[in-house]
Amino acid sequence: MLAVLRHRTYRRLFAAQVVALTGTGLATVALSLLAYDLAGGDAAAVLGTALALKMLAYLFIGPLATALAERLSRRALMGTMDLARAAAALALPFVAEVWHVYALVLLLQAASAAFTPTFQATIPDVLRDEDEYTNALSLSRLAYDLESLASPALAAALLAFVSYRELFAGTAIGFLASAALVLSVALPRLAPAPRTEGRLAKTTRGFRLHAAVPRLRGLILAHLAVAAATALVVVDTVVLVRDGLGRGAGDVAIALGAYGIGSMIAAAAIPRLLRRRTERAVMLPAAFALAAVLAGLAAALAWGALGWAGLLAAWAALGLGTGAILTPTGRLVTGAAAPQDRPAAFAAQFSLSHGWFLLTYPLAGTLAAADTALAAGVLAAVAAAAATAALMLWPATEPETPRSIGVHVVALRTPPRRSDPRTRRPDRAARPPRVRRTPVRR
């Protein structure tokens, strides 16, 4: 897997991703402490609103930014977005009102919504070999999971010497380093998209691609199962560990770590698994497995039979299932879209997959306030419905030829011209070519 780092361009892009993720992890911890400093007992409400703003930015701004920046250099776009994120992070320590936090978080996440899909769409152009690209996807997934484990520990170590406001400086340094690494490489040029499309058509191109390609429809529904499992872990872990099992605050981090370890195991196993099986054969069983684990967890909670070991096992299994779906996602989108449509396709996938959290996060929080078993049961039903719908919409056999959206699809779908039966006169396209006869000199 690490052999892919021999590619200089990808190595720098991967380093940019790692340092940006580290900065984001520091910002997550610092933002929690800033919200408590500003709002006291209402800090949870502040963080909940900030999380909702993050998802709204991912849902709406990503495709819009991709359409507006279609004619720009991808390297310039990603570097500019990193600089915008660094500026937002540097401004956060100086806020005095809660609405300042919301405005800066919206700016930071809007820049991330433009950066991330562009970054994802760039990797398959840098790594043309399918096995190398699959290894890169696994490395990316491992980077995300390691960030969720290492960043809190790094933040805790730094807080022993500095205040939480200095953590935002570390966040800005991460984004600046990411910008420098991105701007230091030369990226392949994309063929320009057709000029006949209007602004609205450009914005919706990725969504139309997902609606047209069956395996992408199945992919988005599989991401709903991921959102159901992730929402339970993110929102309800602290309640289950502290109130349900009566354990300490440190065990909350251990439970979240079990989820991350499960995802990392899946990411490490995916490259070898995809050499023998298709993405469908990996992702759909994982979606059904998520529903089964959530249903078993709901039953254990209802009967009062969930112990500490059972919770860790369930969280690891949920991490394994989510990793098995998230890791091959980039490969599936790349194989379904023509090169000029990949930025729009990745932006739509990023937007749609994160949009599910606007449904599952409120379900996990609201229902758990009444009964955690009820929350797990409802989310299990959501995951099961999503997996079943994905199975029905994603055919077992589907052409692997990349699709192109816009005038290209119209051209492919236009039937050949035929004779008009009313006039019995053939169209020009149906006429045989005229043969010009040259007289032969004798």
- pLDDT-above-70 percentage for the chain: 82
- pLDDT-above-90 percentage for the chain: 25
Give SS3 for 420. strand
- Kindly list the domain boundaries of the chain, sorted by start residue: 1-184, 204-408
Lowest mean pLDDT of 77-86, 260-269, 395-404, name the range. 395-404
217-246: per-residue pLDDT in tens?
999 999 999 999 998 988 888 788 878 888
Six-digit token string for 271: 């490259």
Lowest mean pLDDT of 76-90, 157-171, 382-396, name the range. 157-171
Rg (CA), the chain: 25
Q: Which CATH architecture has domain 204-408?
A: Up-down Bundle (1.20)
Predicted local distance difference test score (pLDDT) of residue 141: 81
261-320: per-residue pLDDT in tens?
899 899 889 888 988 888 999 999 999 999 999 999 999 999 988 899 999 999 999 999
Q: Please state, in angstroms and rounded to a whole number, the distance separating the CA atoms of residues 275 and 148.
A: 28
Q: How confident is the model at residue 429 (pLDDT cuts 50, 70, 90)?
A: very low
pLDDT (mean) for 360-368: 85
The phi and psi torsions of 181 (rounded to 5 degrees) equal -70, -40
Tokens 């984004």 belong to residue: 175
The phi and psi torsions of 437 (rounded to 5 degrees) equal -100, 125
Predicted local distance difference test score (pLDDT) of residue 71: 65
CATH class of residue range 1-184: mainly alpha
105-149: per-residue pLDDT in tens?
888 888 888 888 888 888 888 888 878 888 888 888 888 777 777
pLDDT (mean) for 42-53: 71
Tokens 């769409």 belong to residue: 121
Q: How confident is the model at residue 435 (pLDDT cuts 50, 70, 90)?
A: very low
